Amino acid sequence: MLDIREIRDHADTVRERLKARGGNHWTLIDEVLACDESRRKAETEKQLLQSERKTTSKQIGMLKGKGEDTSAIEAEVRAINDKIDSLDVASEVAGHRQSELLMEIPNLPHAACPVGRDEAANPVVRTWGNQPDLAAPKDHLVLAEALGIISLEDATRIAGSGFAVYRGQGARLERALISFLLDLQSGENGYEEVNVPHVVLRECMEGTGQLPKFEDDMYGTDAGEDGRNQLFLAPTAEVPVTNLYRDTLLHESDLPKKLVACTPCFRREAGSAGRDNRGIIRMHQFDKVELVQIVHPDQGLETLEALTGHAESALRKLGLHYRTIELCTGDLGANSAKTYDIEVWAPGQGKYLEVSSCSWFGDFQARRMKLRFKDHEGKNRFCHTLNGSGTALPRLYVALMEQNQQPDGSIKIPEALVPYFGASEIR
């Protein structure tokens, strides 16, 4: 959520930065300002009337003490009360609409973000390793079916399309990858491992910004009679992990918070038919290791670079060729101020696949979820939040299989993963 004071004081700049995203959210700024003016005007008038009521009420007491008639003044007080009630309603209506608009407006791209309309304008900032020299690379599904380690058919019989069953060495490989990733981040990179619920409240989804925009992509339970008891299957561990500190006042010395979790992620993927759908590349349910940091505002950009490096370190240790790109303003997620995507090479697909998106949100999420800290001067300030996949399992699985496939159809296990998997190959 944007700071209303920033909108009020720098409306033209806010509009221009929103325009850089594309779309028409910048057109909502005038309505936000109109609601803000109406609410503030109503509150000012109410305060004046409350002062007038206080003075008038004192007169009633004085007149009664003298035995004089107070009916006219009492009628005046009732009229003031009616006006105050009307102003309360006006303030509430304007404030509610303002809040709705602020929940809808995306974050402002950081000034350092490359300006562009779509992914074609995303610059590559670095690459690591080389594409493996494979004469006729097979894709992961062909490899997996021949080895008997993944079955989409079994999953379809259980849950319909968009799911997978991992069997035997396939299930062991998934478990090995999760353990490897969690050990790397909780050990070498200093994150606290947490195990969180896989369902979350609506308030949590609103806090991290998945709602209201992406509700059609989420799996939710019945809302109940009051409409507020609905639970959602977490689309990413970002939601429950970041919301560990919803409605929290931290101390400056508590920062940074570095958290890592592995959870299943549930997404309807509405509107994604035909996009990267082969095999396990795009699923309704998949496991993902997520990195979350809550930091001092002065450390936001610096932390984004470090967090992105932490996600990249897993790919380097696994020996997988990848590239890191920076998202331009038009391709930036709605909640993010600055994002790097990490894409791993999948030779069987003949293209790069996104396995991690590392984002800095500024105080956008913290403002929505009321996540603050008390600084050394005793002032309450909003924290900055960041997260990144460390990484998504299915696409990492795909890249590992396709980059390490052998001519006989077996899969070589990266050296760093052998202690977790218990063997050096799948055949």
DSSP β-bridge partners for residue 371: 248
**Sheet strands side by side (includes 380-382):** 248-251, 371-374, 380-382
DSSP β-bridge partners for residue 340: 326, 358
Dist CA 276 CA 267 (whole Å): 15
pLDDT digits (tens, 9 = 90+) for 48-63: 999 999 998 888 888 8
What is the chain's mean pLDDT, rounded? Answer: 95
The pLDDT score that the predictor gives to residue 130 is 96
Nearest to 258 by CA among 388, 151, 128, 408: 388
Q: What percent of the chain has pLDDT over 70?
A: 97
Q: Are strands 192-193 and 257-266 parallel, antiparallel or unpaired?
A: parallel
The CATH number assigned to the domain with range 119-426 reads 3.30.930.10
Chain-centroid distance, C-alpha 259 = 14
Domain 4-104 has CATH 3.40.50.720: no
Residue position matching structure tokens 């995507």:
341
Residues 6+ apart with CB under 8 A from 75: none
Tokens representing 338 are 């600055």
pLDDT digits (tens, 9 = 90+) for 114-137: 999 999 999 999 999 999 999 999
Cα dihedral 130, 131, 132, 138 in deg (nearest 10): 160
Question: What type of residue is 117?
Answer: R
Indicate the domain borders of the chain.
4-104, 119-426
∠ CA 249-230-35 to the nearest 5 degrees? 60
Average pLDDT per 10 consecutive residues for the chain, totaling 427 residues? 98 98 97 98 97 89 81 90 96 97 97 97 98 94 97 97 97 98 98 98 96 91 73 97 98 98 91 66 97 98 99 99 99 98 98 98 98 98 98 97 97 98 97
